Amino acid sequence: MNSNPPIQPPPRDGACFEGIPAVAGRASGPAWVVHARLDEIPDRTIPPEEIDAEIARFHLAIAVTRQQILDLVTEVSQRIGPSEAGVFDAHLMVVDDGFLKSCVEKLIRERTACAEVAVHRVTEDFSAKFAAMHDAYLRERSSDILDIGRRILRNLMGVSETIPSAFDQPHIIISDDLTPSQTVGLPRDGVLGLVIDRGSATSHTAIIARALGIPAVVGLKHVSSEVRTGDEVLLDGYKGTVIVRPTPDELAEFKQVCAAHRKASVDWQRSRNMRAETPDGHGVTILANADHTSDLAQLAIRGSEGIGLYRTESLWMQLGREPDEDEQVEAYGAMVCAMTGRPVVIRVLDLGGDKVCGAMPVQTEANPFLGLRSIRYLLKTPEVFRRQLRAILRVSSCGDVQIMYPMICDVEELRAANVILEQCKEELRAEGVAFTESIPVGAMIEIPSAALTAHILARQADFLCLGTNDLVQYTLAVDRVNENVASLYQPTHPSVLTLIRHTVKAGVRYKRPVSVCGEMAADPALAVLLMGMGVNTLSMTPTAIPEVKHAIRKTPYADAIKLARGIAAHASTAEDARRMCRALLQRTAPELLA
């Protein structure tokens, strides 16, 4: 397989980049660079003695580009037809154009420009001239020239346009950005880790990577323009660091750290299938976040007591369309059967924001995170909602199935959703289809308005689930996929903790279970705090379960309550609260902080 090797000299050995730790874990291996931003072309001059070598590098990139186009011609001819493959004839004409090549060579010789700069300037100039021509055919060649110029640049810079469906060896994916749908479609066995210029630890891309157990560092800003496909990379998802082309000493130290961590994790890996019970006898239910791609065997091995958040939207994102009712029944039913009587909380479609697919109408929104997403989208498209609710009801008789509505703003949305649910029940009764009549229905608390009116929602819902990722985002007005404000995203901010306390009190008052399914639940120090605040059910990515269980099993419930009360009384900042959480864990389970 063509791994698109770099045709540009690599960056210096041991270059270290610091970003945001998004998914805990470490990985080492060759890089596969995807979607590097071509507006960040290396602007460098070359010494006179290297001019011939630079021109040779340009000709090698031309040869690689030509072969890629020929490969495309073959593929399109076989899959679609020879006539359709003819669209690439114009591309071959551009690649073979002698005048274009001579202009690039001239720029390299006379201006000592690097090949990237020369190709970019010449192709942009050629494209602009063709775009200004009167002849329609010649004007159309403008885009062909730009396309070929970008392809040559990618080959010079050693980056790829796509992620292969399979690798001949595992790689660390390096990209300026990855969408959630791209992340869902990653070849599981071929990806060692993710390194991304943009995003934050709670972006949906990071959440999906966490669910897949892929170590990740995000918010690196420009690493994708510095790394070349094939470079050896060391990724530390605990510290948020990435080392490119490590020195022998750096590689040896990295291996030592990995070995030490494996040794330290033996204790909590042993107890992963034990109940999460504190030394003084308080139990916490530990559930897993999952979707249709989850490894069902791994869910049991990790120690999950059920599924606290089943993300249905991943099926839409993977298919790129709305699955029909039977396809949904098959996906949901597989999870319900695998859980053998354990609870499965199915969240209805949560598309919008940074999670989009072909099933949604294409429309531009100034702020999609405040726009038509989640329950708002479903209430606007009731037929989509009905098909999903019918599918969930059809599998409800096979196990302990619960329905959860995301992004509920107020009780009116909850009532409107339940009206459609009742209509679906009537349809299935008329069709003679079995389902659980009293299926539990819950509301996600992700918006401050929902948290502040939790006492009203609790009268209508069977349970409440705190989605802390969005709750933090909307409370603090921090875009959680924007690396520029990632430092302001603080789950322990006093306002956020106040909303959590208010929600828990509402649950206690109306005897409604309250769970947490956001990333706070997966942080051992914060899981202990949530326990002390009265949350008795935590749902998290399966890879986090062993460490969270270990923290709970080592921390007395009385100490957790004291922590929660101390933070409520004395923590005036997010850092104060986090420091107090870590201080408790330092006393009870210091090995988790190492």
Which of 400, 389, 393, 278 lies closest to 335, judged by CA?
400
**Average pLDDT value for residue range 128-148:** 75
Tell the burial category of 563 from Cβ atoms under 10 Å away from its Cβ (0-12, 13-18, 19+). Answer: buried
Place of tokens 């599924």: 307
Q: How far is CA 556 from the centre of its chain?
A: 34
Answer positive or negative: Cα dihedral of 522, 244, 221, 176. negative
How high is the pLDDT of residue 198? 82
How high is the pLDDT of residue 7? 53
pTM: 0.70
Catalytic site residues? 204, 517
Q: Which residue has the higher pLDDT, 396 or 291?
A: 396
How high is the pLDDT of residue 244? 92
- Is the pLDDT confidence value at 182 over 80? no
**Average pLDDT value for residue range 316-345:** 91
Q: What's the mean per-residue pLDDT of the chain?
A: 87
Report pLDDT digits (tens) over 78-103: 755 565 566 677 778 888 888 989 99
Question: Would you list the domain boundaries of the chain?
Answer: 15-36+161-258, 48-157, 270-593
Provide the CATH number for the domain formed by 15-36+161-258 in this structure.
3.50.30.10
Distance CA 453, CA 33 (A): 46
Q: How confident is the model at residue 432 (pLDDT cuts 50, 70, 90)?
A: very high
How high is the pLDDT of residue 140? 62
Distance CA 69, CA 34 (A): 18
Distance CA 194, CA 302 (A): 22
Report pLDDT digits (tens) over 206-260: 877 877 788 999 988 888 878 888 899 999 988 889 999 999 999 999 998 888 8
Instruction: Indicate the pairing of strand 514-516 with strand 276-277.
Output: unpaired
Distance CA 255, CA 324 (A): 48
Pick the CATH number of 270-593 from 3.30.470.20, 3.10.450.630, 3.90.1150.10, 3.20.20.60: 3.20.20.60
Identity of the residue numbered 340: T
How high is the pLDDT of residue 13? 65
**Average pLDDT value for residue range 147-175:** 82
Distance CA 27, CA 165 (A): 20
Asked whether 569 and 319 are in contact (CB, 8 A), the reply is no
Portion of the chain with pLDDT greater than 70, in percent: 88
Pick the CATH number of 48-157 from 3.40.50.300, 1.10.274.10, 1.10.569.10, 3.30.565.10: 1.10.274.10
Answer positive or negative: Cα dihedral of 227, 229, 234, 236. positive
Q: How confident is the model at residue 535 (pLDDT cuts 50, 70, 90)?
A: very high
Min mean pLDDT across 14-18, 281-285, 421-425, 436-440 is at 14-18
- Is the pLDDT confidence value at 284 over 70? yes
CA trace torsion 157, 163, 164, 166 (10° rounding): 120
**Average pLDDT value for residue range 150-166:** 77
Distance CA 266, CA 249 (A): 27
Highest mean pLDDT among 54-68, 129-143, 410-424: 410-424
Report pLDDT digits (tens) over 463-501: 999 999 999 999 999 887 677 787 888 999 999 999 999
**CA angle (334, 212, 227) in 5-degree steps:** 150
**Average pLDDT value for residue range 294-308:** 81
- Is the pLDDT confidence value at 70 over 80? yes
The radius of gyration of the chain from alpha carbons, rounded to an integer in Å, stands at 27
Identity of the residue numbered 81: G
